[in-house]
Amino acid sequence: MPPAIEATGLTKSYGDVRVLDALDLHVAPGTVFALLGPNGAGKTTTVRILATLTTPDAGHARVAGHDVVTARSRVRRAISLTGQFAAVDEAQTGTENLWTAARLSGLSRPAATRRAAELLERFGLTEAGDRLTKTYSGGMRRRLDLAAGLVRDPGATEVMFLDEPTTGLDPRSRQELWQVVRELSAGGTTVFLTTQYLEEADRLADRIAVLGAGRTLAEGTPAELKARYAGHRLDVVAHDSESYLRLRTRAEPGAGPGPEAHTLGIPTDGSAAHVRELLDALDPERRDIARFTLHTATLDDVFLTLTADKEPSHV
Query: Is the pLDDT at 106 greater than 90, yes or no?
Result: no
Give pLDDT, residue 309: 60
Alpha-helical regions (H) of 24-108: 43-50, 72-78, 94-104
Instruction: Give the model's pLDDT for residue 313.
Output: 45
Predicted pLDDT of residue 117: 95
What pLDDT score was predicted for residue 175?
85
- Residue 154 reports pLDDT greater than 80: no
222-269: per-residue pLDDT in tens? 988 888 877 788 889 999 999 999 999 998 776 777 667 889 888 888
The span from the CA of 257 to the CA of 263, in Å, is 6
- Contact predicate 190/29, CB 8 Å: yes
DSSP letter for each residue of 6-42: EEEEEEEEETTEEEEEEEEEEE-TT-EEEEE--TTSS
* Domain architecture of the chain: domains with CATH: 5-227 (3.40.50.300), 232-296 (3.30.70)
| pLDDT at res. 48 | 95
pTM of the model: 0.76
Distance CA 222, CA 166 (A): 20
Beta pairing class for 5-14 and 58-63 = antiparallel
